[in-house]
Structure 1
Amino acid sequence: MSYQADVLPILKQQCYRCHSADKYKVSTSNTLNMEDFAALKYYATPANGRNNVSYLVGNIRHDEGFVKMPYDGGKLSDCEIATIKAWVDAGALNN
């Protein structure tokens, strides 16, 4: 599982419209700049989430108690979610 080859393209396509560095600078409600890997890793780490589920995974799966992302109500495909979850489960490495 590679962040650069597998995960980053999904994030760019599905998340950067709200969670890019440019959007982060002008938004008062945006709490995550996904272009900042340290911030992304924090949100991807299960211990920082709820019930040992990372905020990133809980949000994109639309789990109860998490903020549904993408915020517009759409949902990532099962394949995209599985790819991101596998990356998180492997330690969310910047590779």
Structure 2
Amino acid sequence: MPIFDSFSAFIRPALVGTAALLLGLAASCTYSHGDPAPECDVANETITYARVISPIFDAHCRECHNTADANVKGAGYDFSNYQGINQYYSPTRMLGCIKRLPGYPPMPQNRDKLSDCDIQRIEAWIAAGKPNN
């Protein structure tokens, strides 16, 4: 019995360590850890301000274009809500800025350009009449 006890005492921690290592490796195989992004399928998405566009603006625009900072950082444009976007910004100007076309200030300023997929979503939203919900 003593040989079995010492063998068991050695093998058990090794098995637990191996299992933990394998679980850690399996958990690292996700999109957030570098796998390719899912394919952009704008044509089959339901794109509304509330579901798709507002989160894009949260992530990329509202740092400057919000109620508190619009006059200081956002050139007077407050995009904190649906009404603000419709009131202040023309679709031509918005697309010119986010696409970084000549003659338009590149947006977001001092940050990476929006993904092609997010730009396509904004274009599709505008083309659909800018639905809110």
Whether contact under 8 Å (2:66, 2:74) holds in the other structure is: no
SS in 1 for 2:80: coil
**Is residue 61 of structure 2 the alignment partner of residue 23 of structure 1?**
no
Counterparts of 1:13 and 1:73, CA distance in 2: 11
Counterparts of 1:71 and 1:16, CA distance in 2: 12
2:104 to 50, 66, 70: 66
Count residues in correspondence. Answer: 86
The answer to which structure, 1 or 2, has the higher relative contact order (CA under 8 A, 6+ apart) is 1
Moved over 4 A (4+): none
- Give the TM-score normalised by the residue count of structure 1: 0.78
Counterparts of 2:79 and 2:110, CA distance in 1: 17
2:118 to 66, 75, 80: 80
Asked which structure has the greater CA Rg, the reply is: 2
Task: Provide structure 2 residue ranges, at least 5 long, that are not aligned to the other structure.
Answer: 1-46
1:33 maps to which residue? 78
Could you tell me how far 1:73 is from its partner in structure 2?
4.4
Percent sequence identity is 29
Could you tell me how far 1:94 is from its partner in structure 2?
2.1
Task: Provide structure 1 residue ranges, at least 5 long, that are not aligned to the other structure.
Answer: 46-53
